């Protein structure tokens, strides 16, 4: 037995011994995502590329949870952590079964390139659905829950699976130019908006960072001294490994033109600290070594990071018995995990309007008309980067499953999602009259938004050119609202903002459902018929049309997201209704004068004034009233879900971390400034629009931040 095969030694000792026994050509091949076996040393082959955005993806059967943007709408980190712990266990089981069958290909491993924590700065970005919304604090909280769920309770010693913070950094569209653009946000926006979630996950011990395709301040992200050396390694102290986005290093010479040859690109990436190449450029490492562009120590540095991950994942201590135990650790796509998928789907749903208590509907003795092609679609359950399971419950099935035998449901697609119907004979409007309700399933689906090659109906490389509801959907719904006498309920699908325009005032109820996963249809039925009191909250702002959006290619945060948007949106960040009503009162701050660098504790009383138990998502926002430079209008700094019985109240306690009281200056430095701060606690982000839509009136208090 060699020392690296001795499990009683430390991981670092084992790694060093293994590397010392490898030849240079063997070392270089281990820096490819398809790492071949080294049979003479007993090193098994391993493919590093795997995905689990909302369930083990692209590898057949797995539990399909709601898409990431839907999980963000839960404002429930504990649930998200539980979801990703379940995903990690399913991954362990599937991985072990694959190893036992000697199947070691792509999407079978334990290194997951998840979560995507890029700020969802513009709703036209097709991959925004993969993120946790537009807010740095929410992104950090939810991203941290993903990492903790995936990596297990003691990741420094033993990894359940490996998580990855991506795409580092300033990466959020346009997809059409992701391989060639140079992102140059202001230093203030860079530090205030684009980096906080990455720093949060780094400090929490995320195992992997993935570099973005684009350049940042002129340097390609996967070969950036600023990003990979100065900030990630030196400033934040990152100890894990860095992987390139797939074929991103090739862009160095073909798109960014910062190098002239493939060999130079490979050398630049490795020297700057990109340890693993998803792509083929590292095939030129032998040439780079021969030409003196890299050294063997450069190879060893990256190998230490990569093998440290593999040893902590247990890949060098596997036996047939341990692998069989791993297979049995959970029932992949089984009933227990399916129940968790339903629980998660229920918490993602956001009720945006409920005029005159149009919802919930009656399940017996009623007459309903369901329309819209997404009603029967399975695509709107899945989003992108998905696994597959049976059953997948469509929204139409979820509605049908809730009603009694004496209730009539008629269904008609009625319109196409993105174009005029070729057939001019219209049977889609007549059934909408005289019904107890028309339930229209509208919005967007993964064929209309996604990654550059996935969204087959997008003419903008996966992005959308407009955030407004597609014209042919809108036209039909206006006809129903104007010409028919039935209450109109909208169910809005999609992973991003869909502006409804004047329909907001015309319809009776609006439910945003995102891409809710395998049990999405059942969850929707539960809300529509009152078996569930919804409590989801919008993780992004829905703008009041395209005119409210800045230029897509502009990476300044001016006018973007609730933090910097001065005009009234269609629906605000953090907004969501339920079948209960809540009141806030008696906000107490621990201190009204606080020394700089100290956290601030506060508490508030929330009362359920409704007639049924409900869950309120209480949110804390901070505003700097006296800063010497531009600061966000307000900033989410804490939140809490609270289930409160009808007529009861709860005293909720919060803590504002001191770091969110710092001011980010124009040069990117962060410091405390003495002055007055305002604290707002309520059920949505502060503003007149939240109140106009029915959010409970929040409470405010102020404190003075003093110098040390």
- pLDDT tens column, 224-241: 999 999 999 999 999 999
Give the separation between CA 403 and CA 529, rounded to whole angstroms: 8
Check pLDDT > 70 for residue 327.
yes
**Per-residue DSSP letter, 657:** -
The pLDDT mean for the chain works out to: 97
Select from 627, 659, 625, 629 the least CA-distant residue to 195. Answer: 659
599 is a catalytic site residue: no
Residue 460 predicted with pLDDT over 90: yes
Q: Give the span between the Cα atoms of 31 and 23, in whole angstroms.
A: 13
Q: Locate tokens 């670092």: which residue?
A: 12
CB 461 within 8 A of CB 174: yes
Residue 29 contacts residue 36 (beta carbons within 8 Å): yes
The enclosing H or E element of 702 equals: strand 699-706
Statement: residue 426 has pLDDT above 90: no
At 153, list the tokens. 């309770």
Centre a 10 Å sphere on the Cβ of residue 102 and count the other Cβ atoms it contains. Answer: 8
CATH for 335-554, options being 3.10.20.740, 3.40.50.1700, 3.40.710.10, 1.10.150.120: 3.40.50.1700
- Place 136 in a pLDDT band, splitting at 50, 70 and 90: very high
Total-model pTM: 0.98
Structure tokens at 132: 């946790």
Question: What mean pLDDT do residues 624-647 have?
Answer: 98
- How many helices and strands in the chain, by DSSP H and E? 20, 24
Give the angle subtended at the CA of 83 by the CAs of 77 and 85, to the nearest 5°: 105
Q: If you average pLDDT over residues 130-156, what whole number do you get?
A: 97
Mean pLDDT of 499-518: 98
Quick one: angle between helices 296-312 and 11-20, nearest 10?
A: 140
Cα–Cα nearest to 221, from 268, 187, 282, 263: 268
Mean pLDDT for 593-600 is: 97
Which segments of the chain belong to CATH 2.60.40.10?
Answer: 582-706
Average pLDDT over residues 348-360: 98
Q: How far is CA 704 from CA 593, 594, 665, 675, in A?
A: 5, 6, 20, 6
Is residue 512 within 8 Å of 495, Cβ to Cβ? Answer: no
End-to-end Cα spacing for the chain: 58
The SS3 call for residue 141 is: helix
Mean pLDDT along residues 304-310: 98
pLDDT above 80 (res 402): yes
Which stretches within 262-334 are classed as H helix? 262-272, 285-290, 296-312, 320-327
CB proximity list for 90: less than 8 A, separation 6 or greater: 55, 56, 62, 63, 330, 332, 333, 337
The pLDDT confidence band at residue 689, using thresholds 50, 70 and 90, is: very high
Domain with CATH 3.40.50.1700 in the chain: 335-554
Per-residue model confidence (pLDDT) at position 83: 98
Q: Could you tell me how far CA 329 lies from the centroid of its own chain?
A: 27
Q: Across residues 280-293, what is the average pLDDT?
A: 98
Contact 507, 330 (CB under 8 A): no
pLDDT at 48 over 80: yes
State whether the Cα torsion 690-691-696-699 is positive or negative.
Answer: positive
Three-state SS string over 542-576 comes to ECCCHHHCCCCCCCCCCCCHHHHCCCCCCECCCCC
Nearest to 686, CA basis, from 651, 636, 649: 636
Q: If you search the block for the tokens 């269609």, which residue do you land on? A: 570
Quote the pLDDT of residue 708.
Answer: 61
**Confidence band of 485 (pLDDT split at 50, 70, 90):** very high
What is the pLDDT, as a whole number, of residue 659? 97
Residue 215: strand, helix, or coil: strand
Q: 582-706, what's its fold? A: Immunoglobulin-like (2.60.40)
Tell me the mean pLDDT in the region 288-301: 98
Helices (H), 313-352: 320-327, 335-348
User: In this predicted structure, what is the pLDDT of residue 427?
Assistant: 84
Catalytic residue among 122, 189, 245, 463: 245
* Confidence check: pLDDT of 395 > 80: yes
What mean pLDDT comes out for the span 516-525? 98
pLDDT given for residue 193 in this prediction: 98
C-alpha 455/C-alpha 418 separation (Å) is 13
**Mean pLDDT, residues 616-627:** 98
Structure confidence at residue 151 as a pLDDT band (50, 70, 90): very high
The pLDDT-based confidence of 428 (bands split at 50, 70, 90) is confident
CA angle 499, 502, 508 (to 5 degrees): 95
Are 544 and 499 spatial neighbours (Cβ–Cβ below 8 Å)?
yes
What does the pLDDT read at residue 10? Answer: 97
Residue found under tokens 């907004």: 575
- Separation CA 678–CA 702 (nearest Å): 4
**Would residue 517 be called left, alpha or beta, if left means φ above 0 and alpha means ψ between -120 and 50 degrees?**
left
* Per-residue confidence (pLDDT) for residue 707, from 0 to 100: 83
Query: Computed over its alpha carbons, how large is the radius of gyration of the chain?
Result: 26
């Amino acid at each position: 037995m060699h020392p690296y095969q001795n499990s009683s030694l430390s991981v670092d000792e084992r790694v060093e011994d293994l590397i010392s026994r490898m030849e240079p050509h063997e070392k270089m091949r281990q820096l490819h995502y398809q790492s071949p076996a080294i049979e003479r040393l007993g090193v098994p082959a391993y493919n590093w590329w795997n995905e689990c955005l909302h369930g083990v993806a692209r590898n057949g059967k797995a539990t399909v949870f709601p898409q990431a943007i839907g999980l963000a709408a839960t404002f429930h980190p504990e649930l998200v952590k539980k979801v990703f712990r379940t995903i990690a266990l399913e991954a362990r089981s599937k991985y072990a079964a694959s190893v036992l069958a000697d199947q070691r290909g792509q999407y079978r491993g334990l290194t997951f390139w998840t979560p995507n924590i890029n700020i969802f700065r513009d709703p036209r970005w097709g991959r925004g659905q993969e993120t946790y919304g537009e807010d740095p604090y929410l992104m950090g909280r939810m991203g941290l829950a993903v990492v903790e769920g995936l990596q297990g309770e003691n990741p420094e010693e033993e990894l359940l699976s490996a998580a990855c913070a991506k795409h580092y950094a300033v990466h959020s569209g346009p997809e059409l130019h992701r391989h060639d653009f140079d992102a140059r946000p202001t230093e203030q926006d860079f530090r205030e908006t684009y980096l906080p979630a990455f720093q949060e996950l780094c400090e929490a011990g995320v195992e992997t960072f993935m570099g973005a395709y684009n350049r940042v301040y002129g340097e390609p992200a996967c070969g950036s001294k600023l990003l990979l050396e100065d900030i990630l390694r030196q400033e934040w102290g990152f100890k894990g490994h860095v992987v390139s986005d797939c074929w991103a290093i090739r862009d160095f010479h073909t798109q960014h033109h910062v190098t002239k040859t493939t060999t130079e690109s490979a050398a630049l990436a490795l020297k700057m600290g990109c340890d693993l190449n998803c792509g083929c450029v590292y095939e030129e490492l032998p040439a780079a070594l021969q030409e003196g562009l890299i050294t063997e120590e450069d190879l060893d540095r990256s190998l230490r990071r990569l093998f440290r991950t593999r040893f902590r994942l247990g890949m060098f201590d596997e036996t047939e018995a341990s692998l069989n135990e791993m297979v049995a650790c959970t029932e992949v796509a089984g009933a227990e995990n399916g129940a968790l998928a339903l629980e998660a789907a229920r918490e993602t749903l956001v009720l945006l309007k409920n005029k005159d208590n149009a919802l919930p509907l009656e399940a017996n003795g009623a007459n309903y008309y369901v329309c819209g092609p997404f009603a029967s679609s399975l695509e709107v359950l899945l989003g992108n980067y998905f696994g597959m399971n049976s059953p997948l419950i469509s929204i139409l099935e979820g509605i049908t499953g809730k009603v009694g035998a004496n209730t009539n449901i008629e269904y008609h697609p009625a319109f196409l999602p993105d174009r005029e119907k070729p057939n001019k004979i219209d049977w889609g409007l007549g059934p909408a009259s005289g019904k107890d309700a028309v339930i229209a399933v509208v919005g967007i689906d993964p064929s209309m938004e996604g990654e550059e090659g996935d969204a087959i109906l997008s003419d903008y490389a996966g992005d959308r050119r407009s955030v407004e509801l597609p014209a042919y959907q809108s036209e039909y719904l206006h006809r129903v609202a104007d010409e028919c006498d039935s209450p109109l309920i909208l169910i809005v699908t999609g992973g991003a903002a869909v502006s409804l325009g004047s329909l907001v005032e015309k319809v009776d109820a609006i439910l945003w459902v995102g891409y809710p996963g395998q049990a999405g249809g059942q969850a929707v039925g539960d809300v529509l018929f009152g078996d569930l009191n919804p409590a989801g909250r919008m993780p992004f702002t829905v703008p009041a049309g395209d005119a409210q959006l800045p230029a897509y290619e502009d990476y300044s945060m001016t006018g973007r997201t609730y933090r910097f948007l001065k005009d009234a949106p269609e629906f605000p960040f953090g907004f969501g209704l339920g079948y209960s009503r809540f009141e806030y009162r008696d906000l107490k701050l621990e201190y009204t004068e606080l020394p700089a660098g100290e956290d601030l504790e506060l508490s508030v009383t929330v009362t359920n004034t409704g007639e049924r138990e409900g869950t309120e998502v209480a949110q804390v926002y901070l505003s700097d009233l006296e800063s010497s430079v531009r600061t966000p209008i307000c900033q989410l700094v804490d939140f809490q879900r609270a289930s409160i019985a009808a007529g009861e109240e709860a005293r909720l306690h919060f803590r504002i971390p001191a770091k969110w009281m710092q001011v980010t200056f124009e040069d990117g430095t962060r410091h405390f400034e003495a002055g007055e701060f305002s604290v707002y606690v309520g059920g949505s982000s502060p503003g007149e629009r939240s109140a106009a839509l029915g959010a409970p009136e929040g409470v405010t208090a102020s404190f003075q931040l003093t110098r040390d």
